[in-house]
Amino acid sequence: MEDRDKKFAARLDVTGMLCPMPVLRARRKLDELASGDLLLVIASDPAVVHDMPAFCSMAGHTLLMAHVEGEKYLFEIQKGDKQES
């Protein structure tokens, strides 16, 4: 996973947290990034499969990829241009 991490401006590990915490933490982390930056989110709560895409759509971010690795859910998010995330 190290090579993949190099393309991200930030990495957020929210394993062990239940929704809505992964989405809230992702929002906070995206607030710190510049428009166009990439964020990798790693979560373990199955509910995030529905919550993270909905959050990205509503907040104006682009969900580039979502996939499962073992018991973890990985999301590659590109920060959008909107001021509010």
Residue boundaries of the structural domains of the chain:
2-78
Alpha helices in 1-68, H assignment, sequence order = 2-5, 21-32, 48-59
19 is an active site residue: yes
What is the pLDDT averaged over residues 7-21? Answer: 96
The architecture (CATH level 2) of 2-78 comes to: 2-Layer Sandwich (3.30)
Q: Which residue of the set 12, 19, 30, 52 is catalytic?
A: 19
Q: What's the confidence (pLDDT) of residue 1?
A: 46
pTM: 0.89
**Residues with Cβ within 8 Å of residue 8, at least 6 apart in sequence:** 38, 39, 40, 76
User: For residue range 34-82, what is the model confidence (pLDDT) as tens digits?
Assistant: 999 999 999 999 999 999 999 999 999 999 999 999 999 999 999 998 7
The larger pLDDT score, comparing residue 1 to residue 71, is at 71
